Amino acid sequence: MLTLFRNAHIYSPSDLGKKDLLTGGKTILAIADRIDPPAGMEVTIIECEGKPLIPGLIDSHVHITGGGGEGGPASRMPELQLSMMLEGGVTTVIGCLGTDGITRTVESVLMKVKTLRSQGVSAWMYTGAYQVPPPSITGDIAKDIALFEEIIGVGEVAISDHRSSVPSLTELTRITAHARVAGMIGGKAGIINIHMGDAKDPFRPLHDVVAHSEMGYRQFLPTHCNRNHYIFEDAKEYGKKGYVDITTSSYPYDPDEEIKPSIALKQLLEAGVPAENITFTSDGCGSLPLFDKEGRLVKIDMGLPSSILREIKEAIFDEKIPPMTALKVATSNPARILKLAGKGEIREGLDADLVLLDPAFNILHVMAMGKILV
């Protein structure tokens, strides 16, 4: 089956203007000013009338088997459903464990990755969890990365947080080095997804690893960098050296503390952080807990993948960030940082993961691996 998107305004995420785009199988076959359907072949034609066509979004921090549990068994979040991805235009997820690497397992995350792939979307995962030493399938995070095609790195390892294992400099450096070497051997990113907590000077453990080893800043992908004002101020400087990830689901649950993601993107750019160093993730199906000063759980909410497109849309329409810049944070940037082959761009030969939007950036169609799912 061939599908022809006629007269779409393509953001690849670069602005390609109005073009026709032809897909076949799982692949983007052609992009041109005019494409005539091949004679004698069945072609589905979607008349786009100049509407935006963007790459399928990549959500690279999702608790696909459910997260949470900080408030006891009743506070465990449900696992990710395919519909949660599609309603947000997300066609690729990276699964991870979080706080609960104790009763939830890396093996269950791997099986959920396989489930999502069988449902027609793309999925990878991190081995490990908050805890140090990190849980793994083989007993060795490096073997997990090197041997399992689905595993691209380690995460989310918690630092600067009362729920972390308070890893020492030696422990954090060793995890980083093992992941890096395993990534080289397995052809993966070998990156460490870092959970950033509420402690003051939260990036200090990462600065110390870089200062006392041969590891570089780009070996880390620290997330939740908009969780409070002081971590966000530090992120403006850290982001000039390494990557910073903004959690989109966190807003508006605690607006007095958190920086709204669309505004965070604008302020990071204004501070001189390269657009290529910024990513958005949802923390989907993860818990969004609020603790009081004594460390008691006050309330808990759940993240959703649809929050990414919401914040991208508001970055474009409210903060006046060009679409080609705003879209990078959940398309080409995570694809490049995490070495996701075929993802993150609209280009001939890449995977046919596409989202057709109306002029207000609401979803009309979602195509994943060449099949229309919405």
Active site residue 283: yes
Q: Which residues of 123-137 are buried (b: 16+ CB within 10 A; e: fewer)?
A: bbbbbbbbbbebbbb
Cα–Cα distance for residue pair 19/311, rounded to 1 Å: 26
Residue pair 21/4 in contact (Cβ under 8 Å)? The answer is yes
**Tokens of residue 186, six digits:** 């397995």
List Cα–Cα distances, 103 to 100, 106, 130, in angstroms: 6, 10, 12
CB atoms inside a 10 Å sphere around CB 45: 12
Place of tokens 């980083």: 176
Q: Which residues of 280-312 are buried (b: 16+ CB within 10 A; e: fewer)?
A: bbbbbbbbbbeeeeeeeeeebbbbbbbbbbbbb
* Cα-Cα end-to-end distance for the chain: 17
From 144, 283, 351, 353, active-site residue: 283
Cα–Cα distance for residue pair 7/351, rounded to 1 Å: 20
Cis ω before 78 (30° cut-off from 0): no
| H and E: helices and strands count for the chain | 10, 18
User: Any idea which residues carry the catalytic annotation?
Assistant: 283
